[in-house]
C-alpha cells in the first residue's frame, strides 16, 4: 500500500474516533458563550442547546441569529441539518423550531416536549434568515429596503462558514439543508453555492410545499380549490378563462390589480370564506377564546389534537425578556419579535425566478433531492409541485426507480411517493398542511428519517416490533 495512502487512512480513522467522542460537552470552547443553560419553562433534557449570533458582515454590522439543538442521542454519529423557513421573511425559529419539529412547543407559558422532534434523527440548526427576520439584524437598517435571493444565499453561505468555525466538530459531518415554502428558493440557491464552493459535505436537500416555478405553482391553486369543493364551477371557469391565479398574484404584488381580476379574486374569497385556513384546508382556524370554547362544546367527533393557536403561544413566549436572555437574543431596531418581519422589504420580483432548474443542476452534481407536499395545502398545492418534479425527471432522463405508490406510518397510509434514478424523490404527506410537520408530525418524522438514511419510504404495514422500535 502506498505510504501516503496509509497516512491518509490513519488520519481518517483518527478523525472518526475524535468525532465519536466529541459531544455537546466537548465542543470547541468558542461555542460555550452560546450554550443555553435552560429555557424558561423547559423540561429536563440531556441534549445540548445553543443560540446566538453569527456576524456575516463586520463592516455593516449584519448578524444572523440561530438556534441549535443537538441530537437527543449520540449526536456524534448523526448528521447536521440546516432548516430554513420561507415567507420571504418568516422565522425558522418561530415557525420551524417552536411550531413544527423542534424539541419543544410553547403552551401556557411553559415548554412541552415534542415527541416528534427532528432532533431525534439529527443535529438541528435553525437559522433566522434573511437579515431583518426575527432576531437577526443589520445596524445599517437601509439594508432591509431591497433584499433579494442572491443576497440571502450569500449571507447564508457566510453564516455556515463562520458557524463551522464556532462548531468545528460538525464541519466534516454530513450536511443536509431543509425548508419549506419560499425556502424552495433559499435551499436550492444555498445548496448550489455550496456545490460550487466545495466547502462542506452536502449530501442532500429536502423542501416542503416549495415555490419552484411561479406560473405552475400558483395556477394550480384554482384546480385545488375546485377539486376540494371550496369554489364553484363558475368561479373555476373564471380562473381558466378570465384571470388566473398567477396574474392575480403578480398584479397584487405590483399594486396594479385590474377590476376584472379583482372580481375573480373577490368571488373566490367569498366562496372560500375567511373561516378556512388556506395553508391547511382541513384544519380548524385559531379562534378567539370564547369562540374556541363554543366550538369545543359543539364538537361531535374527537380528532387528533393539533394546537392551531401554537403560533400565538410562540409569539408570546419569544417576546418574554427572560426567554430572550436565555437565547442570548436581542431586539435591534425593533420593539417586538414577530413571526414574519415587519421591517424587511424583499424584492418580490424574485418569486418569478424558477428554481426547479437549480434542482436539476443539484441532481446532476450528485446531491439527493426530496420534494414533498402536504396534500391539504392550497397555497403551493401538490398538483403543481408533482407536475414540476415529474417534468424535471423526464428532462434529466431519470428512470422511475420507485413507481408511484402509497407509503405508511405505522398502520396507516401516510402519503404517496415516486422516486427517479434513486436521487430525485417526490412524496406527499397525507392530511398535512403547508407546514407538514405542524399538522402531521408523526408522518413527517418518518419522511425525514427515511430521507436522512437514504431509505425508501415504508411500503407496507409495520410489524408490532417495528412500531415499538420506532416509538
Show which residues are catalytic.
181, 377, 434
Please give the Cα distance from 471 to 342 (Å, whole number). 40
> How far, in whole angstroms, is CA 393 from its chain's centroid?
23
Please give the Cα distance from 160 to 178 (Å, whole number). 14
| Alpha carbon separation from 94 to 51, 85, 140, 250, 319 (Å, rounded) | 13, 9, 24, 28, 11
Give the residues across from 63 on adjacent strands: 55, 137
The set of cell numbers assigned to 398 is: 431519470
The pairing of strands 62-69 and 110-113 is: unpaired
Q: Please provide the distance, in angstroms rounded to a whole number, between the alpha carbons at the two ends of the chain.
A: 46
| Alpha carbon separation from 439 to 136, 193, 222, 308, 321 (Å, rounded) | 27, 32, 23, 9, 29
Give the residues across from 94 on adjacent strands: none
Please give the Cα distance from 165 to 129 (Å, whole number). 19
Length of the chain (residues): 471
Please give the Cα distance from 273 to 296 (Å, whole number). 21
> How far, in whole angstroms, is CA 440 from its chain's centroid?
14
Omega cis (within 30) before 413: no
**Which residues, in sequence order, are CB contacts of 129 under 8 Å at separation 6+?**
64, 84, 92, 136, 152, 155, 156, 159, 186
Q: Which residue has the cell 455550496?
A: 194
Please give the Cα distance from 397 to 378 (Å, whole number). 30
Amino acid at each position: 500500500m502506498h505510504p501516503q495512502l496509509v497516512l491518509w487512512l490513519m488520519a481518517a480513522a483518527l478523525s472518526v474516533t475524535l468525532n465519536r467522542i466529541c459531544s455537546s460537552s466537548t465542543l470547541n470552547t468558542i461555542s460555550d458563550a452560546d450554550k443555553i443553560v435552560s429555557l424558561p419553562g423547559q423540561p429536563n433534557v440531556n441534549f445540548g442547546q445553543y443560540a446566538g449570533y453569527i456576524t456575516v458582515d463586520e463592516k455593516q454590522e449584519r448578524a444572523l441569529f440561530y438556534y441549535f439543538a443537538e441530537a437527543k442521542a449520540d449526536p456524534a454519529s448523526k448528521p447536521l441539518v440546516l432548516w430554513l423557513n420561507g415567507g420571504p421573511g418568516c422565522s425558522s425559529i418561530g415557525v420551524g423550531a417552536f411550531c413544527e419539529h423542534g424539541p419543544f412547543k410553547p403552551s401556557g407559558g411553559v415548554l412541552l416536549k415534542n415527541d416528534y422532534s427532528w432532533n431525534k434523527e439529527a443535529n438541528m440548526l435553525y437559522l433566522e434568515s434573511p437579515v431583518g427576520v426575527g432576531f437577526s439584524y443589520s445596524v445599517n437598517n437601509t439594508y432591509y429596503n431591497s433584499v433579494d435571493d442572491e443576497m440571502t444565499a450569500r449571507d447564508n453561505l457566510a453564516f455556515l462558514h463562520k458557524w463551522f468555525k464556532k462548531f468545528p466538530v460538525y464541519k466534516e459531518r454530513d450536511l443536509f439543508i431543509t425548508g419549506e415554502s419560499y425556502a424552495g428558493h433559499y435551499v436550492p440557491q444555498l445548496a448550489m453555492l455550496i456545490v460550487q464552493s466545495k466547502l462542506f459535505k452536502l449530501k442532500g436537500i429536502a423542501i416542503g410545499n416549495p415555490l419552484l416555478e411561479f406560473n405552475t405553482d400558483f395556477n394550480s391553486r384554482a384546480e385545488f380549490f375546485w377539486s376540494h369543493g371550496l369554489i364553484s364551477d363558475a368561479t373555476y371557469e373564471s380562473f381558466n378563462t378570465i384571470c388566473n391565479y398567477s396574474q392575480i398574484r403578480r398584479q397584487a404584488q405590483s399594486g396594479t390589480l385590474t377590476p376584472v381580476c379583482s372580481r375573480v379574486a373577490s368571488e373566490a374569497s367569498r366562496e372560500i370564506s375567511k373561516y378556512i385556513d388556506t395553508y391547511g384546508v382541513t384544519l380548524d382556524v385559531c379562534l378567539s377564546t370564547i369562540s374556541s370554547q363554543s366550538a369545543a362544546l359543539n364538537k361531535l367527533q374527537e380528532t387528533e389534537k393539533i394546537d392551531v393557536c401554537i403560533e400565538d403561544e410562540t409569539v408570546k413566549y419569544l417576546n418574554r425578556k427572560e426567554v430572550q436572555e436565555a437565547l442570548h437574543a436581542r431586539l435591534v431596531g425593533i420593539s417586538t419579535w414577530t413571526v414574519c418581519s415587519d421591517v424587511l422589504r424583499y424584492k418580490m420580483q424574485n418569486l418569478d425566478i424558477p428554481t426547479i432548474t437549480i434542482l436539476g443542476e443539484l441532481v446532476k452534481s450528485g446531491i439527493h433531492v426530496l420534494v414533498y407536499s402536504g396534500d391539504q395545502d392550497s397555497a403551493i398545492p401538490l398538483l403543481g409541485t408533482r407536475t414540476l418534479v415529474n417534468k424535471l425527471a423526464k428532462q434529466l432522463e431519470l428512470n422511475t426507480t420507485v413507481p408511484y405508490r402509497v407509503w405508511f406510518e405505522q398502520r396507516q397510509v401516510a402519503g404517496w411517493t415516486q422516486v427517479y434514478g434513486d436521487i430525485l424523490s417526490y412524496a406527499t404527506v397525507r392530511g398535512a398542511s403547508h407546514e407538514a410537520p405542524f399538522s402531521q408530525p408523526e408522518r413527517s418524522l418518518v419522511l425525514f428519517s427515511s430521507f436522512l438514511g437514504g431509505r425508501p419510504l415504508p411500503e407496507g404495514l409495520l410489524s408490532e416490533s417495528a412500531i415499538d422500535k420506532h416509538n
